[in-house]
Structure 1
Amino acid sequence: MRQGIPAGVWALGFVSMLMDISSEMIHALLPVYMVTVLGTSTFAVGVIEGIAEATASITKVFSGALSDWLGRRKLLAALGYGLAAVTKPVFPLAGSLGWLVAARFVDRVGKGIRGAPRDALVADLAPPELRGASFGLRQSLDTVGAFAGPLLAIGLMALTGDQFKAVFWVAVVPAVLSVAVLVVAVREPARPAGAGRVRMPLRRAELARLGPAYWRVVAVATVFTLARFSEAFLVLRAQSVGLPPALVPAVMVVMSLAYALSAYPVGIVSDRMDRTVILLTGLLLLVAADLVLAFAGGVVALGVGVALWGLHMGFTQGLLATLVADTAPAELRGTAFGLFNLVTGLALLFASLLAGALWDLAGPRGTFLAGAGFAALTVLGLMAIRGRPAHEGRQKRNA
């Protein structure tokens, strides 16, 4: 009989949801705030977004490895969420670009600290036969927050007469609630039976145990990340087709709604069929999204492109996390997620820099056509390795 998804996975989903409500209330407005209020260039937006996300990814390597060394995940997850909550008031207090960059940087350090231990904790809590559904559920709840955050931002911008800082202050509340749910409702499971102690997770001998199947997942995800630069460029695309500032967050609402509605069902399906086929479907959705956004001339086409972008996220992000959990030894899951996020984070830095430069040189069309090209390359690469089993090299104790 199939077990239900554990309560701890549900709780972690709600923790992610609350923090995403807070973060997306800010981030849905931040690119426009930087460009229209502070006079920042779109290239600078790309630099800031790329550095912020790369910082989070680099931090994940060490927090993931530390969680393996300690054999404990919750403490580091709580530290990361707590740091993000503490930094939220800096956004409304910031009076210059330097303060915003610092706040974004520290906020992403918090994300980096919590990311790998939290994902490893989901893998530890989830039964093997429900691993895809568990990651899909957490991703869906997380994305409900990404949907609700911009929606709240739209309403608050309308109520306050486009007062950015007032919206940023309200965003502090769900961040604090997120930390409270994590501390109270999540219990760390016992270490898996047969899992050994890891003294030096980043030592070559330990990394060699991750195996070729894991590194193939990392390779595919890296090329894929080059195609899916920061969502800040979706916001800027909305502005470029004439959407007024108060409605710009609707872009993130549409994207996140498509993401949230698809991630959990896709996770359930991935427990029953070939996960590579689902990943290929997600990549094809990204190609379609980039092409539509490249040639969008109005709000309707923009909405279609953004919805396709959200669907591709729902088909791929939880699934990639599931594949990492499938291919990594149980006692090295934190390290595996950390390395995965480091490599893909560096790819995101490059992608965001490239997107910003292309936007300034060739406009939005050049940016999204380049994304479509990278997505098509990933499809070809994934088809080339499709015949190889995802479980290759996985040790029995992972289950």
Structure 2
Amino acid sequence: MVAIGDLIGYLARGLGGFLAGRSRSSSFYWGLIFLGYGINLFAVPALALAGNWEIAFILVLIERIGKGLRAPARDTVLAEITEGIGKGKGFGLHEVMDQTGAILGPAIVGYALYQGIGYSGSFKVLLIPALFAMAMLMIAFLNHREVHSISSKEEGKHEKLPTQFWIYSASMALLALGFIHWVLAGYHIKNLGLLPDSEIPFIYMVAMITDAIIALPAGFLYDKWGPKTLLVTPFLAMLAIYYLMMGAERMYIYIGAVIWGILMGLYETNMRVTVADAVTPQNRAYAYGIYGVVFGTSWVVGNGIMGALYPISVTYILIFVIGVEIVSLGMLGVFLKRFRKMC
């Protein structure tokens, strides 16, 4: 079910990117952003009204669709408004705030449950930060109504995406094939009894906190060194699989969680900024949509392969990951060579 939700969310990015790019309208861009955030922010509190798991699952799928639809337009706007301070810093700050919310949300629900409000009441409490988030989004819109990189006079027209973008997308697709999903890692930890059940959610929180901590420094490094900062990502994917799947001690699991969080932080910052730098500003929405579909589909397929290999041998998973990450590193090198020439 998690894989289905993730896949639908990433496919929605393709639709969002196509619609935004096709429209070439600032109003449409912001409309998609508001629609996406509105769906996302109110679908979760609506879980309080879910009477069974089927309705809850549908609400989760709706939340993923909203998240996917808004992403290309949002990232296009974010890339534009952060040109002055550095896109790396801008995307890094965005990820810090995003992860802060991801950590505080469950904490709020947990505290509400502790106070005896119950699950239904706990999710209703989330309406408060949801309304606050929409208010902040409105302030952002009022300060940047026009998306300057697009022109309504050229409605429906767009340039062909450059070769370096496709090479980069292929490299990141291979990276995603070997990037273990936390659900599979968590299952492995549970299956072998490497940690107590109560500690497994905590180890995931360690990964998320690491993601938040690394995001802004990673963005600073991107503004200084550019896409070269991504050369470390294939090695991180290999190390993550080794420590999370091959280690039999608690310390190995924690090291793996930190490495996984670092890689996720780079995915949410530097990898997204590179998309903006690999294409013209006018084509960013298209590029973000395609990149989202390619990366997301590869991530789901890769973890499907790892899941199929798991009953046979964890060693086979390690071999698979090492193989695809080596190829990913090679293609990333080709992209960097073309990127330097472009600059």
The 1:212/1:313 distance shift into structure 2, 3 A limit, reads same
How far off is 1:301 after superposition? Answer: 1.7
- With over 3 angstroms needed to count, the CA separation of the structure-2 counterparts of 1:242 and 1:389, relative to structure 1, is closer
Q: Which of 194, 198, 205 is residue 253 of structure 1 equivalent to?
A: 205
Which residue of the partner structure matches residue 56 of structure 2?
100
- 1:381 pairs with 2:337: no
More helix by share: 2
Deviation at 1:77, TM superposition (A): 0.6
Compared with structure 1, are the counterparts of its residues 151 and 197 closer, same or farther at alpha carbon in structure 2 (3 Å cutoff)? same
Q: 1:53 to 1:357 in 2, by over 3 A?
A: farther
Partner deviation per Cα, 1:199-254 (whole Å, 9 max, x = no partner): 225xxxx251x212222222222111212243333433443335444443213311
Instruction: Check if 1:332 corresponds to 2:255.
Output: no
CA RMSD, Structure 1 to Structure 2 (Å): 3.1
1:47–1:112 Cα change, 3 Å: closer
Q: What is the letter of the counterpart of residue 269 of structure 1?
A: L
Question: Deviation at 1:267?
Answer: 0.9
Q: Which residue of 2 aligns with 1:216?
A: 167
Pick closer, same or farther for the CA change 1:93–1:220 going to 2, 3 Å: same
1:235 corresponding residue in structure 2: 186
Aligned runs of 1:384-395 on 2, under 5 Å? 384-390=334-340, 392=342
Aligned partners of 1:372, 1:167: CA distance in 2, in Å? 43
Name the structure 1 match of 2:67.
111
Distance of 1:146 and 1:379 partners within structure 2: 31
- Structure-2 change in CA distance of 1:167 and 1:367 (3 Å): farther
- Could you tell me which amino acid in structure 2 is paired with residue 266 of structure 1? A
2:24 paired with 1:82: no
Q: CA deviation at 1:347?
A: 1.7
2:295 is aligned with 1:347: no
Aligned to 1:184: 139
Tell me what 1:124 maps to. Answer: 80
Pairing partner for 1:142 from 98, 121, 135: 98
Rounded to whole Å, the distance in 2 between the matches of 1:153 and 1:356 is 31
1: CA distance between counterparts of 2:51 and 2:324? Answer: 38
Q: Provide closer, same or farther for how the CA distance between residues 369 and 106 of structure 1 changes in structure 2, counting only shifts above 3 A.
A: farther
Give the TM-score taking structure 1 as reference length: 0.74
Q: What are the superposed Cα offsets for residues 51-102 of structure 1, whole Å, 9 maximum, x if unpaired?
A: 3433433333334325534565222111110011232134344454432331
Q: Which stretch shifts more, 127-136 or 288-297? A: 127-136
| Runs of 5+ consecutive residues of structure 2 not aligned to the other structure | none
- Whether the aligned pair in 2 keeps the contact of 1:136 and 1:318 (CA below 8 Å) is yes
Look up the equivalent residue of 1:259 and give its one-letter code.
Answer: D
Deviations 1:303-327 (A, max 9, x none): 1101101112223431121111112
The answer on whether the counterparts of 1:81 and 1:111 sit within 8 Å (CA) in structure 2 is yes
TM-aligned CA distance change 1:150 to 1:63, over 3 Å:
farther
Give distance in 1, aligned partners of 2:71 and 2:219: 19
Query: CA 1:89/1:272 → structure 2, altered by over 3 Å: closer, same or farther?
Result: closer
Q: Distance in 1 between matches of 2:124 and 2:63?
A: 15
Deviation at 1:136, TM superposition (A): 1.6
The CA distance in 1 between the partners of 2:11 and 2:149, in whole Å, is: 34
State the alpha-carbon separation in 2 of the partners of residues 215 and 373 from structure 1: 20
Opposite residue 78 of structure 1, the aligned amino acid is: F
